[in-house]
Copies of this chain bind each other. A is one copy, B any other.
């Protein structure tokens, strides 16, 4: 496994892969790796010849009052996990290895980046799209892998790739959950024992929402059911909505419905989602 820290080193390693005509699969991460990330690495490992993983805590996607400084970092452990998965190249740049000068360019997919999660975290998805665009240019993968856990991020990246004609296939891996249903997240380490117990109410709220939809409830009713399940579970909801999985706007039944929730568990903010009724 090659560990590279600059764009130049990365290009040199990738040139070898390309000379050998190996397809490149790319998993961008912010480190603090868990089974969710590793499931994407395995997906890449099984379908592309060369697997590149980036570890970069992207400053552009954190708001001024968010947890950029506190975000968990454990490079040694991350590298151990990736080595075990047979990753070919790990790209771990510092911000100054990505940008010699602070970037002013932003990539924005428009309305989709400003609603639901984007309404609570202004600028977040522009920061995500911008860094993913930059990483796409550095890595030039054939396929890139993202987790369904960050459903709106997936929609943003797909929109950006379509609109800007990026020749990259986007594949989405399912959300990986603890046995009690809590979606894996690097931020779960912030939870104390009592909070960890309350955090399971996110998954319960989604399941109750799914049952509500299946029983034929109106969308507003389903949203109320989820909200109340969160409150009953002792967490503070930011939103509990039923949206179109591509636009995050009003549901288009053809595309299925996406249940999306965000809630504060103590001082930790968690998100989760569940796709239902999606046709093939």
Interface of A toward B, CB cutoff 8 Å: 7, 11, 98-101, 103-112, 129-130, 133-134, 137-138, 140, 159-160, 162-167
Given A138-B165, A167-B11; A107-B104 close (CB under 8 Å): no
Which chain B residues lie closer than 8 Å to A107 at the CB level? Answer: 105-107, 164
Nearest-CB residue, chain B, relative to A101: B162
Q: Are B130 and A164 in contact (CB under 8 A)?
A: yes
A151 smallest CB distance to B (angstroms): 18
Nearest-CB residue, chain B, relative to A11: B167
Given A103-B162, A104-B109, A106-B108, output 6 extra A-B contacts at Cβ < 8 Å: A11-B167, A104-B111, A104-B163, A106-B107, A137-B167, A138-B165
A72 smallest CB distance to B (angstroms): 26
Which chain B residues lie closer than 8 Å to A137 at the CB level? Answer: 164-167
**Alpha-carbon distance between A164 and B159 when the two chains are bound, in angstroms:** 17
Q: Are B98 and A109 in contact (CB under 8 A)?
A: no
B104, B108, B134, B167: the one within 8 Å of A112 (CB): B104
